[in-house]
Chain A
Amino acid sequence: MNRMDRSRCGLIAIAVLAAMPAAAQDLTLYSGRGETLVAPIVAAFTEETGINVDVRYAGTSELAVLLQEEGGATPADLFWSQDPGALGAVADQLATLPDAITELVPEALRDDENRWIATSGRQRVIVASTERVDEAEMPASMLDLTDEAYRGRVGWAPTNGSFQLHITAMREALGEEETREWLEAMIANEPVVFSNNSGIVQGIADGEADFGLVNNYYLPRFLASDPEFPVTSAHFEDGDIGNLLSVAAIGITASSDQQEEAAAFVEFLLSAQAQQYFASQVNEYPVTRSVVLRSDQPTLESLEASAPDIDLNALSDLEGTLELLREVGLL
């Protein structure tokens, strides 16, 4: 290849690269939350502030690992996680949030040192087929799912962030050994493996599994488009580990050079508009008090009675959970 050709190609390459959308003032968001839930709220933020947000969608733990690997060189300004655990795992890379933001949310729903903050609440529930499961078969505790009666009938998603947080909470509440034994007994009971929560709910409707362990807000989305959808959801008995109450949460990276814009995004997520969106469109539980709820929507407080008593700040050992899941052969 000759010089003229090469310089011509170089020019083409530069022109092509320059045309790529990568303006410097854009915020970069790592989102462990799914695109269908996140994209509308990001669009609303951009419309209101004029700040563009580039989103990298991936699994929550994948992004946590990525942040650790990237360290201070990360392009991310914000990390929006399915659970506080992944944020806890990268907490030393996060900036302290301004007081104006932290005071919007009760203390139990943010980091001890204010490096991450909840954006919405959710609960783990059990979903079941209305066609193949009757009332009497519903388990009282999540731990009962290892019984012979549930062999080959339970759907779960071991690679999903919410499931992994649930295991972290189990390790915290029941201890390492009991959690391992439960996992091994579950695996021996031949669960149906899915890659995410929506897949589980859809899979139960399609007859692949009869029960499923998911977050509370997935089923209502299916019911909204089809009231006859043959799946129902239920809680375990009060205080059972299966009823874990958790939050989606967000933090700003310490290395971000756009702290103000990033803080504006967090504040936007806690605004009445966004909280209302989470409650009514996503079927999550709001974390601020500024929201008017429908009568059939529970508040976080009303759910606390059913949930096990676990401090969200104690759930940062994602690494130990992944290690355990790998040891029992789920990853």
Chain B
Amino acid sequence: MIAGLAPARRRSAGQIALFAPALAVGALMLAPLFYLVLRALEADAATVVSLLLRPRTFELLVNTAALAAGVLVLTTLIALPLAWLTTRTDLPGRRILNVLAVLPLAVPGYVMAYALIGLSGNYGFMNAVFGVTLPRPEGWLGATLALSLYTYPYLYLNLRAAFSGLDQTLEESARALGCGPREVFTRVTLPHLMPAMMAGWLVIGLYTIGDFGAVALMRYEAFSYALYLAYSSAFDRLYAAWIALILVVIALAVVWWEARLRADVRLARTGSGSGVRTRRAALPPAARTAAYAFSGTVVLAALGLPIAVLSFWLLREPIWPVLPDLLRSFGQSLSVAAPASLLAALFALPIAVLAVRFPSPLSSLVNRLAFVGYAIPALAFALAFVFLALGGAPFLYQTYGLLVLVYALAFLALALGPIRAALYQARPSLEDSARALGYGPIGTFIHVVLPCIRRGVTAGLVLVFVVAMKELPIAFLLSPAGFRPLAIQLFSRTSEGMLIAAAPYAAAIIAFSGLTVAAVLRHEGRLE
């Protein structure tokens, strides 16, 4: 079943055995979109035009673009200097700073929004502790802040890798040719960072377009929030279907645009010889102070703020009475996240094997399809599944099974990455030897391939698991009755202004994700 371990004449049969499930997964990705389009097209043209050509649609478009722009600028302003400080300078404490810079990943956007809201107001943290009443953060500024403080680590991680991989001889040559430091940065360093920058921007941009929790709590009318409003309070779901379609188009356009920009870039080293080892710049005392002030502010805002505000609200009332509810919620989140991560890994295996062992136009198509669920804003993806379940599979409607399936598809890309990377490193010759020594395809897979890629599979499982544990928008639309995961409990309490009641749920989410992010960082550290 895996190339190299099947004799040549049986290859086609093995490929079919792989293509069948992989194509099925691809079809599962596209089927909901088909139902979404079908539903949207039920309207007559006049209704659609009057729905879409309202000033409100334009307003939403502008709001969404403004939010994405704000988040991209702010995350870049945070991540670029941080990445430079930790990779290119001799700043004492840079190792700790590196960990602290990544940890905000554990604080999802809606928790960050909760923290910012809990900071303000008469009863808020600032007034109680410092006697200063801040206005409640909201709108563009509030949403930009909440999303940026949560998402900048995605950019930071990319930039850090790019800084480490960048050949410094290039910069030295530029200097030798007479460029000043600023010119070296803009003409040499920055262009070489661009691919990493764009990869980070893509992830952050898609997240921002699709975010629902933070923009809803900040009452910012971006597209995804409007989609939720249209879904929850328009009598027919037509308008919701059209907004979802627009969101899908925006997301796919962003992906396409990024891929096009990336395709034109050629940055690899040419010529012989190897690059030099990284040399770290020695910071003069003044610059060092500035560096500490900057990174201190970032860490304080992205980590200190949620932890301080949360502790403040948490200590207002004893936690014991809500503990049973909290545990049940945790269990419910677990009961979906665990099977979803398993299913995602199962989906990812045949697709990864196809990509690595049988590269062909069809296998690269299947691999692209695997990213559809990740690229499409979660609310739109979930809404498409509502239409699919109601229109084509009523037995799935409002079931745990459907929620698990949609999670697995939405986060398939997260599982696919590490598994594919592990397979690239597993040598096909090992599999051939196993076959030669008498193992069948199953035995080879279990005893040879699986142990080789175990680490990749585990990484994929963990990634999907963590993300599914704190997922909000999909759970919002597809939760079966009685299902109240942590994210929904937190969201509904915060939106009712009940910050004390929301605190234990926010703490549980942060504690859980914090532990997992720390575990992943340690794991990474060991690999290095």
Contact = CB atoms under 8 A, between A and B. Distances in A.
A20 B346 contact: no
Interface string A189-228: 0000111101101110111100000000000000000000
Contacts of A203: 136, 497
B442 A16 contact: no
A22 B400 CA distance: 9
Nearest to B55: A329
Interface stretch (A50-58, A103-111, A239-247, A254-262): A50-58
Given A61-B232, A329-B56, A207 B400 contact: no
Given A17-B400, A62-B233, A65-B237, A30 B56 contact: no
Interface in A284-313: none
A69 B495 contact: no
B199 to A, nearest CB: 30
Interface residues of B, number: 56
B397 A62 contact: no
Contact of A70 (B21, B219, B390, B482): B390
Interface stretch (B104-112, B300-308, B335-343): B335-343
A59 B495 CA distance: 13
A58 B232 contact: yes
A1 B123 CA distance: 57
Contacts of B55: 329
A20 B123 contact: no
B350 interface: yes
Contacts of A133: none
Interface stretch (A93-101, A134-142, A171-179, A318-326): A318-326
A163 B397 CA distance: 30
Interface string B229-250: 1111111010100000000000
Given A1-B21, A1-B349, A322-B234, A29 B481 contact: yes
B124 A206 contact: yes
Contacts of B81: none
B147 to A, nearest CB: 19
Given A9-B342, A59-B233, A22 B21 contact: no
A159 B229 contact: yes
B4 interface: no
Q: Please classify how large the interface on chain A is, using the bins under 10, 10 to 19, 20 to 34, 35 or more.
A: 35 or more
A159 B233 contact: yes
A20 B481 contact: no
Interface in B52-75: 54-56
B222 to A, nearest CB: 14
Contacts of A53: 482
Contacts of B398: 75
B343 to A, nearest CB: 7
Q: Which interface residue of A2, A57, A75 has the most chain B CB atoms within 10 A? A: A2
Q: Is the interface of B mostly helix, strand, loop or mixed?
A: helix
A26 B121 CA distance: 42
A21 B230 CA distance: 31
A9 B496 contact: no
Contacts of B158: none
Contacts of A73: 394, 397
B239 to A, nearest CB: 8
A55 B482 contact: yes
A76 B135 CA distance: 42
A28 B483 CA distance: 12
A205 B124 CA distance: 11
A223 to B, nearest CB: 14
A202 B493 CA distance: 13
B145 interface: no
Contacts of A30: 481
A57 B54 contact: no
A213 to B, nearest CB: 16
B497 A201 contact: yes
A233 B445 CA distance: 71
B397 A195 contact: no
Contacts of A325: 233
Contacts of A76: 481
Contacts of A19: 335
B54 A329 contact: yes
B327 interface: no
Interface string A34-69: 111000000000000000011111110110010011
Nearest to A320: B235
A202 B497 contact: yes
A322 B481 contact: no
B305 to A, nearest CB: 18
Contacts of A322: 233-235
A152 interface: no
B25 to A, nearest CB: 11
Contacts of B17: 1-2
A314 interface: no
Contacts of B309: none
B234 A326 contact: yes
8 contacts: A1-B349, A9-B342, A30-B481, A34-B492, A62-B232, A195-B495, A326-B239, A331-B230
Interface of B: 1, 17-18, 21, 54-56, 120-124, 133, 135-136, 216, 219, 229-235, 237, 239, 335, 338-339, 342-343, 346, 349-350, 390, 394, 397-401, 404, 441-442, 445, 479-482, 484, 492, 495-498, 501
